[in-house]
Amino acid sequence: MREGRKAYLSQTQAAWVLLTPFLATYALFLIYPFFRGIWISLHDWNLLAVAFNPDAKEFVGLRNYERVMWGRNITWGFASPVLQALGLLGLVAAAYLLLTNRLGRFNAIALAVVSAALVFLPGFHPGEGGRWYDRRFWPTVGNTILFVAWAVPGVTISAMVLAAALNRETKAMGALRTLFFLSQVLSVTVVTLIWQIMFSPRQGLIANVMEVFGASPINWLTDEKFAMAAIVIATVWWSLGIAMILFLAGLQDISKDIYEAAALDNAKGIKAFWYITLPNLRRTITLVVVLQIILHFQVFGQSHLMTQGGPNDTTQVLVRYIYQTGFRDSELGRASAMAVFLFLIMGLFSVVQFIVGREKS
């Protein structure tokens, strides 16, 4: 620095001046609430009672977690053989694929962990005379996973196929991409508004079209068999755009020479897609899948607005259950325990995303 310029801030001072506004909001509205959430989850905390009298909360330790996730006389066994057999199969497949080098180590470990969880977790069930303290919690988690299990492959596969087809820089292709992306910018309430009426058995477009073909209308949103399918369809329609864009970016990285070389070997069209595009897109696929899992695990609006969690709780999802427990039943302690559970699952996938993202760059 020149003489006589001492009035200027030093680098450290300038840095803190610039950082303070963000760090203050960050500490106050993210860090502090996060720990406060854990704090609330350790209390018997009624929303209304505590609002009137701040001392009306009682420290209960981990009781809320127990009341949400555990029960009386819970034992472990082969309670849901289908899922557990699937898990065993997954474990065997992971070991086989790893030994034959068909799968990277990271993916094999991921598959093994998921499979092990599938063997282990569904095994818990109430023994004789026992019951879950909260009958709705695990079914709700199951519904959320089911929703993710339908929506993620639905979005990923259709986005990948579309991206492969749209991977050319022409005006027509650009216009088509715009059309597919458009629904992505709409808000969840607009999406649910549109699809509620689309699915309506009396006024809905789907029912009207089906009527022409002589089919009787389906009560999409009130039939236990179709409600989950309905919110998955609306979700795939809504969130295809980002996945498509990520795949298009991934496709740009595949060199044109490979395709030309393959064309000489008569690998074109679907064959080229299978043998060249797919293997080269592996990283992008993993990235898209992980992102979608994180995104869709937090599903709320579709279930809250289209089916109200029904019929018979078949579309009740985790965030909606947290919202209801907290704001309808006023049980903030229990709701916070569930929110911590949600955060742990999200955090796990965020770590996976972080690792995948670093591998990519």
Partner 1 sequence: MINKGYYWLIIALSIPAFLWLVPTLWMVSLSFQPNEVLARTTSTTFFGLIPLPFTAENYSALFAFGQTPWWFLNSVIVAVGMTLGVLAVSTTAGYALARLEFPFKKMIVVICLIGLMVPEQAVFIPLYTMFADFGWHNSYHALILPRMAVPIGVFLMMQFFQAIPKDIEEAARLDGVGWLKIFWYVMLPLARPAMMTLAILTFLYAWNDYLWPLVSAQQRDYFTITLGLASIQSNFAQSEGLGRVMASGVIASLPVVILFLIFQRYVVQAMTVGGSKG
- Chain residues 267-296 in contact with partner 1, contact rule CB under 8 A: 287, 291, 294-295
The answer to whether 220 touches 227, Cβ cutoff 8 Å, is yes
> Min. distance of Cβ 188 from partner 1 in angstroms?
5
Secondary structure of the chain: what % helix, strand, coil (to 5)?
70, 5, 25
Cis peptide preceding 311, ω within 30 of 0: yes
**DSSP secondary structure code for residue 133 in this structure:** S
Q: Mask: binding to partner 1, 69-108, rule CB under 8 A, as x and -? A: ----------------------------------------
Q: Which of residues 181-200 bind partner 1 (CB under 8 A)?
A: 181-190, 192-198
d(CA 309, CA 332): 20
- Side-chain-side CA neighbours of 85 within 13 Å: the count stands at 3
d(CA 241, CA 220): 25
355 binds partner 1 (CB under 8 A): no
> Min. distance of Cβ 43 from partner 1 in angstroms?
11
**DSSP secondary structure code for residue 308 in this structure:** T
26 binds partner 1 (CB under 8 A): yes
Nearest CA-CA partner of 323 in 301, 349, 295, 350:
301
For 281, the 3-state DSSP assignment is coil
> Min. distance of Cβ 310 from partner 1 in angstroms?
13
Task: Name the amino acid, one letter, at 217.
Answer: P
**By CB under 8 A, how many residues form the interface with partner 1?**
98
208 binds partner 1 (CB under 8 A): yes
> Min. distance of Cβ 16 from partner 1 in angstroms?
7
259 binds partner 1 (CB under 8 A): no
Nearer to partner 1, 123 or 357 (CB): 357
Q: Mask: binding to partner 1, 131-160, rule CB under 8 A, as x and -? A: ------------------------------
15 binds partner 1 (CB under 8 A): yes
d(CA 301, CA 329): 19
> Min. distance of Cβ 4 from partner 1 in angstroms?
9
> Min. distance of Cβ 24 from partner 1 in angstroms?
9
d(CA 23, CA 186): 31
215 binds partner 1 (CB under 8 A): no
Q: Which of residues 300-339 bind partner 1 (CB under 8 A)?
A: 300-301, 305, 319, 322-323, 326-327, 332, 335-336, 339
- What are the two backbone dihedrals, phi and then psi, of residue 3, each rounded to the nearest 5 degrees? -60, 145
Identify the residue among 86, 176, 251, 254 touching partner 1 (CB under 8 A). Answer: 176
DSSP states of 162-207: HHHHH-S-SHHHHHHHHHHHHGGGS-HHHHHHHHHHHS-TTT-HHH
Q: Which of residues 220-249 bind partner 1 (CB under 8 A)?
A: 237, 240-242, 245-246, 249
Identify the residue among 6, 30, 61, 266 touching partner 1 (CB under 8 A). Answer: 30
264 binds partner 1 (CB under 8 A): no
Nearer to partner 1, 118 or 290 (CB): 290
d(CA 164, CA 161): 5
